[in-house]
Structure 1
Amino acid sequence: MHHDHGDDGQDPKEKINYKATFRLLYGLIKTRKGPFLVAFVYMVSATLLSLFIPMIVKYVIDTAIPARDPRALLLAAAVYILTTLLFLYFNYLQVLQLARAGQDLIVDLKQRILSHILSLDLEFYSSMPVGRLNARVQSDTSTLYALFTNTVITIVNDALMFAVVFCVMAFFNLKLTLMLIPMFPVLALFGWIFVKVTSPMFVKVRKIAAEIPGFLTEQLNGIGVLQAFSREGDASAKMEALNQKRFTADINVELYTVIFFLSIVFLHPAATAAVFHYGGRMVLDGKMTVGVILLFVMYLGNLFEPIFRFSEHLSIIQRSFSAGHRIAKILELKPGLTEPPRPHYLTSVRESIDFRNVWMRYKEDSGWVLKDVSFKLPRGKSLAILGETGGGKTTVTSLLFRFYDFQKGHIEIDGTDIRKLSLGSLRAAIGLVQQDIYLFPGTVMDNLKLMDASIPDSRVHDAIRLMGIEAFFKKHPLDKVVKEKGANLSIGEKQVISLARAMVLDQEVLVLDEATSNMDPHTERLITTAIKNLLKHKTVIIIAHRLSTVRNADEVMMISGGEVKELGTHDELLAKGGLYAKYYRLQFGEGE
């Protein structure tokens, strides 16, 4: 089981694991080297064309104008226009190629994160708010999209531009070029200080950015409770406090970014002034032409442009490594429950489900949730489980699905330990009808088929007929639109649809957690009829809350404090006059 869930509420003092994050980012781009390489070629072509423009200006100033040659001026103008058009064309190709490659990469990453999250067990979800998971899949991947479609390839291109410009400047005047070198260590120092100071700030920004959608999701999910207890103001105040925290954190980051950027910007006019002063003196001494000074001034723009961009890229890089660090932490989590090395595949339950002396606890240092639980459920029979809240009823059914593992004892299906069964085949064979029923947006038919278009309509109609609930689906036709979470249906109506869905999906074993809510007599009768007919066709384990269900079950198990207190038929346990009889009289009334 997990002991560290990679909580996305990342500690601002936590250091980013750059090695793991780089490994993730490199792994993503490595499989798409071709498309990114094509984009890089387009970018380099555009860059080299842009570097050709100052040479055209130098030619006009130093050669065409002094020679008073109109044809040379016309040729220079034509070459300038052609160079600019080619520059724009290659820029267009590069942007298009990067957008395609970046979208492909991010779609793949989102799918990878989602698939991995879905493979993790329930313990992970119990400690991870839905809003934070949504932030991983949406917000953090969007940050990485900016990194891959702009930043990485631009930095490589800018490094190339910087090197080429420096070499061209050195070719035209080595002495003047060497005079510019002292500014580069200053730039490196500024960059190092910026990364050192802002790294924890970016972690803090990402932490708060994840908290906001998480908080919003939780509040919207519980909007009914908030309104019932008039707590809208409290929720609004907390949201305002979170937004203020985000605002303050963003402002602090932007403040340091602006200071860093302005420090670099100042170096550009300083370098230009140096070229004017020392270059001008060389022109006066006849050691250099005016065209070379203009070329140097224009190339200084090309030289500083990558540096300016890098100051902006540093912000994106910091955000991206923070986002990548959090994604990597999620992807590094291992499921607490894994497939066996050589799994058996469950096709059907031919004989029975056996719990033998099962002990279970959630953590090594916690108490036992189940203690020496044993029962046998033959194929085609039903077992009703009763007991107080927290007594272990739901844990028994969770173990059958292998949502959690047990520490001692055996759970077997047809004599095979469920830990040797393929998880997929085990869960495919067992249906689950929960108290908290989730219905998807769509039609009633979509929900009965669980969005599986391969299920024929005839199977749905057969299931409804077998369960004897045709009247319900006359009132709620199969083409009726169901809102998200079944918002336009009552709890009882949702349970009827959920029970019918269990029959449609044709899973041999069914685990049913009955709803405890009071329902109108008509819906109550419908559900009673549906469950009674399910019991005829399925092997069923029921966490029971209805008198009719308890009476119709083949066996009843009374569980308390994680222990099986009594096991037998309804009549046997009632005649025994023990814990079940007391619970029965308390729950259902002595005269029932």
Structure 2
Amino acid sequence: MSGLPVASARDVRRHARRLALRERRWVAGAAALHALGAASGLAGPWLLGGLVQDVTAGVDDVTRITLLICLFVTLQAGLTAVAMFVSARLGEKVLAQLREEFVGDVLALPLGTVEEAGTGDLVTRTTRDVDLLARAVRYAIPDTLISSVTIVLTLGGLVLLGPVLALPALVGVPVLWAASRWYLRRARDAYLRENASYSRLAEGLAETVDGARTVEALRLGGRRSARMDDDIATSYAAERATLRLRTVYLPTIDVAFVLPVFATLVIGGLLYLDGMVTLAAVTAATLYTQQLLAPVDTLLFWLNELQIGGAAMARLRGVRRDPVPFEGERAAPRTDTVESKGFEVRGVSHAYRPGHDVLHDVSLTIPPGERLAVVGPSGAGKSTLGKLLAGVHAPRTGAITVGGVPVSALPLDRLRTEVALVTQEHHVFRGSVRDNVVLGRPSAPDAAVEAALRAVDAWAWASSLGLSAAVGSGGAELSPAQAQQLALARLVLADPHTLILDEATSLLDPSAARHLERSLAAVLAGRTVVAIAHRLHTAHDADRIAVMEAGRIVELGPHDELVAAGGAYASLWRSWHGGAG
């Protein structure tokens, strides 16, 4: 199972630059406030150096210098507080934009992409990766900005004191540069592997929990446990790899912090003894160098978090990447119009795994308004054909058009209103009965909702609950059959021109299903309907029947004609009708 794409480092940097330019006024304001705060902080060491010089010279009145130091410390505190507020507000604004973009990107993903990637990867990106990015935006980026401005201005203050005194502060730079270069070359890939291991772990857990009854019935507990142990071991190894990077990097930079202060004291002291600098300059330089340690430490600490946040952003941005078009669709024009409502399937083959086609050179014409039943044994490719018609997957070869337009050329929002797929898997959303029915048409009046529920034989139980009754998580529990009726009511209300029904009434008992299908047929008259079914009364009522075996259409025609032909369909009909009788 392949995961969703991951954006390149270049794409992440480009997007971060766009975000900064979009909020350039806020960014400039935050940078200016931090610069003023850092500049105010430079006055304290300079004044303190003068105070030491004056005391050494025998000056007793230090009230003025003391008051100035207090003033600049207070000013620095005030400016820093305002700057942090502005930075925090900017961070929350950018984070909100990133979250909104991500939600939009996730909702725009083709269903086929989600199915291929698996829920574990998507869930991990929407939870853990969003949280990691939030931490980077809220804390790492503002603190990095503050530290960077402080370091630049402090180094500027050292140069103004005397270029010679600025040199000792730089003795730790080669060590920091070498350690950071070593770390950054390895960190991004290591954190991407770590995040991917969490996706696989989440996927395995979700599969085991969702399929708990199957696991128990088939005695798969040992196998699933072994899979979980393997996933945990992989995640553990990935975490150890990133931890190993930190245990080498962080102690190295801690050692590098000690060198500048030591060098400034020694070299500054020697220069003072030679009369080349004043005691005030040596004192201020030592204090500036000491003052550099905190922002450098903060910068390097958050550098690690920025790597984690960058890896998370690469995974979030990766969701936005358009999938590579399949063969046969590369030149498909983009359009918002559909001339008619018929399907044309030409030479379609499809595989979920390379080299293992489940459909083989399928060709089929479905005129507008026809009701086509697709039947055949399990594994014949019926559901795959339905998903291709609905645009969930793209064919490996061949083409599928609706009204002469490739299905892949329809924008996703238009496709979902034109062609609707209903399967036996239904989700009841948390909300009222009405909320669940009007998902495809939110402005529908209650009368239309009632008509849709009546069309699917659901009005009796729905009216007893009430349209405003809460269902889904925390609400009234609906049976699988009721959930299926709710999904069909959504379909009736949405009123698409083409419907793909994949065992859409399988959870109802046969007599109820037959009554419901006849009711639906009356409501959906004139629309194109492709019904995939095991119950052959669905085929009996259809205009034509396509019989599939081993990924191919082996028979095509009306019920009576196929029965008279005595082929594969006739054999299925006799077997089913005899059992049903």
State TM-score, norm by structure 2. Answer: 0.85
Number of the residue aligned with 2:445: 456
CA distance in 2, matches of 1:79, 1:235: 70
Deviation at 1:348, TM superposition (A): 7.3
The answer as to whether partners of 2:170 and 2:260 remain within 8 angstroms in 1 is no
CA distance in 2, matches of 1:364, 1:233: 30
Number of the residue aligned with 1:63: 54
Query: 3-state SS of the aligned residue for 2:203?
Result: helix
Number of the residue aligned with 2:28: 37
CA distance in 1, matches of 2:463, 2:414: 35
Number of the residue aligned with 2:15: 24
2:435 to 446, 451, 462: 446
Number of the residue aligned with 1:527: 513
Number of the residue aligned with 2:252: 263
**Are residue 49 (structure 1) and residue 40 (structure 2) matched?**
yes
Number of the residue aligned with 2:69: 80
2:569 to 580, 584, 588: 580
Number of the residue aligned with 1:194: 183
Counterpart of 2:48 in structure 1: which amino acid? V
**Are residue 495 (structure 1) and residue 495 (structure 2) matched?**
no
1:187-586 residue pairs with structure 2 within 5 A? 187-196=176-185, 198=187, 200-228=189-217, 239=228, 242-243=231-232, 245-283=234-272, 288-334=277-323, 336=325, 341=333, 343=335, 345-346=337-338, 349=341, 353-355=342-344, 358-362=347-351, 367=357, 369-379=359-369, 381-406=370-395, 407-408=397-398, 411-413=401-403, 424-450=413-439, 452-484=441-473, 488-514=477-503, 519=508, 524-538=510-524, 539=527, 540-586=529-575
Deviation at 1:468, TM superposition (A): 4.9
CA distance in 1, matches of 2:401, 2:265: 86
Deviation at 1:497, TM superposition (A): 1.8
Counterpart of 1:304 in structure 2: which amino acid? L
CA distance in 2, matches of 1:42, 1:405: 53
Query: 3-state SS of the aligned residue for 2:117?
Result: coil
The answer as to whether partners of 1:261 and 1:308 remain within 8 angstroms in 2 is no
The answer as to whether partners of 2:457 and 2:485 remain within 8 angstroms in 1 is no
State TM-score, norm by structure 1. Answer: 0.83
The answer as to whether partners of 1:584 and 1:590 remain within 8 angstroms in 2 is no
Deviation at 1:229, TM superposition (A): 5.2
Indicate the larger mover: 548-557 or 50-59: 548-557
The answer as to whether partners of 2:265 and 2:282 remain within 8 angstroms in 1 is yes
CA RMSD of aligned residues (A): 3.7
Counterpart of 2:337 in structure 1: which amino acid? Y
The answer as to whether partners of 2:376 and 2:534 remain within 8 angstroms in 1 is no
Counterpart of 1:25 in structure 2: which amino acid? A
Deviation at 1:342, TM superposition (A): 5.6
Indicate the larger mover: 566-575 or 35-44: 566-575
Query: 3-state SS of the aligned residue for 2:320?
Result: helix
Number of the residue aligned with 1:140: 129
Query: 3-state SS of the aligned residue for 1:331?
Result: coil
The answer as to whether partners of 1:392 and 1:560 remain within 8 angstroms in 2 is yes
Indicate the larger mover: 209-218 or 415-424: 415-424
1:66-145 residue pairs with structure 2 within 5 A? 68=59, 70=61, 72-73=62-63, 75-145=64-134
CA distance in 2, matches of 1:465, 1:231: 43
CA distance in 2, matches of 1:26, 1:400: 41
**Are residue 177 (structure 1) and residue 163 (structure 2) matched?**
no
Deviation at 1:334, TM superposition (A): 3.1
The 1:18–1:342 alpha-carbon spacing in structure 2 relative to 1, beyond 3 Å, is closer
CA distance in 1, matches of 2:24, 2:116: 38
Percent identity over the alignment? 22
The answer as to whether partners of 1:204 and 1:249 remain within 8 angstroms in 2 is yes
The answer as to whether partners of 1:348 and 1:429 remain within 8 angstroms in 2 is no
Counterpart of 2:180 in structure 1: which amino acid? G
The answer as to whether partners of 1:515 and 1:545 remain within 8 angstroms in 2 is no
Indicate the larger mover: 361-370 or 40-49: 361-370
The answer as to whether partners of 1:440 and 1:447 remain within 8 angstroms in 2 is yes
The 1:145–1:360 alpha-carbon spacing in structure 2 relative to 1, beyond 3 Å, is same
Write the deviation string for residues 100-150 of structure 1: whole angstroms up to 9, x where unpaired.
Answer: 322332333333344344444344223212221233344334434444444
Indicate the larger mover: 284-293 or 570-579: 284-293
Number of the residue aligned with 1:13: none
Deviation at 1:582, TM superposition (A): 0.9
The 1:191–1:544 alpha-carbon spacing in structure 2 relative to 1, beyond 3 Å, is closer
Structure 2: segments with no counterpart, 5+ residues? none
Query: 3-state SS of the aligned residue for 1:450?
Result: helix
Query: 3-state SS of the aligned residue for 2:439?
Result: coil
Indicate the larger mover: 423-432 or 578-587: 423-432
Deviation at 1:535, TM superposition (A): 0.5
The answer as to whether partners of 2:49 and 2:284 remain within 8 angstroms in 1 is yes
The answer as to whether partners of 2:453 and 2:486 remain within 8 angstroms in 1 is no
Write the deviation string for residues 149-178 of structure 1: whole angstroms up to 9, x where unpaired.
Answer: 444554455444334333433433444433
CA distance in 1, matches of 2:428, 2:324: 27
Query: 3-state SS of the aligned residue for 1:62?
Result: helix
Deviation at 1:460, TM superposition (A): 0.8
The 1:589–1:167 alpha-carbon spacing in structure 2 relative to 1, beyond 3 Å, is same
The answer as to whether partners of 2:437 and 2:489 remain within 8 angstroms in 1 is yes
Deviation at 1:543, TM superposition (A): 1.0
The 1:412–1:485 alpha-carbon spacing in structure 2 relative to 1, beyond 3 Å, is farther
Structure 1: segments with no counterpart, 5+ residues? 11-15
Write the deviation string for residues 419-448 of structure 1: whole angstroms up to 9, x where unpaired.
Answer: 665554343123322111222122222111
Deviation at 1:183, TM superposition (A): 3.6
CA distance in 2, matches of 1:475, 1:236: 45
